Amino acid sequence: MSILVRISPLLRSLANCQELHTVSSGSPLDCLLDIAGNHPALRKWTHDKEGGLLRQVQFYVNGQKMEAEELERPLKDGDEVFILLGISGG
């Protein structure tokens, strides 16, 4: 199975400046874990100290936003995942 993963510019800087990654993961969350396994600095921005996913991390599969309860949903060959780190300020 081949999944194309695109990561946002902020996260990209932590993954050798690569926008596109091809993985064979089973779920959107697994995609992030696969990429973070090769780029440990990425995990510091996406997970808390206990290993939980931060709320600011957003996932889109084939252009559709995934809710937290959908992040372990199985992907299909050819799916495209976009991972975004939402930031805010004021």
Q: What is the pLDDT along the chain (90 residues), one digit of tens a residue?
A: 899 999 998 888 888 888 899 999 899 999 999 998 888 888 889 999 998 999 999 999 999 999 999 999 999 999 999 999 887 666
Helix (H) or strand (E) holding 38: helix 28-38
Burial readout 48-71 (b: 16 or more C-beta within 10 A, e: otherwise): eeeeeeeeebebebeeeebeeeeb
State the pLDDT at residue 12: 87
Tokens representing 73 are 């949903």
Number of residues written out for the chain: 90
What is the span of the domain harbouring residue 62?
Answer: 3-85
* Predicted TM-score of the model (pTM): 0.89
Q: How many domains does the chain have?
A: 1
- Asked whether residue 80 is domain-assigned, the answer is yes
- Return the closest-CA partner of residue 66 out of 79, 78, 51: 79
State the pLDDT at residue 86: 84
The CATH number of the domain holding residue 48 is 3.10.20.30
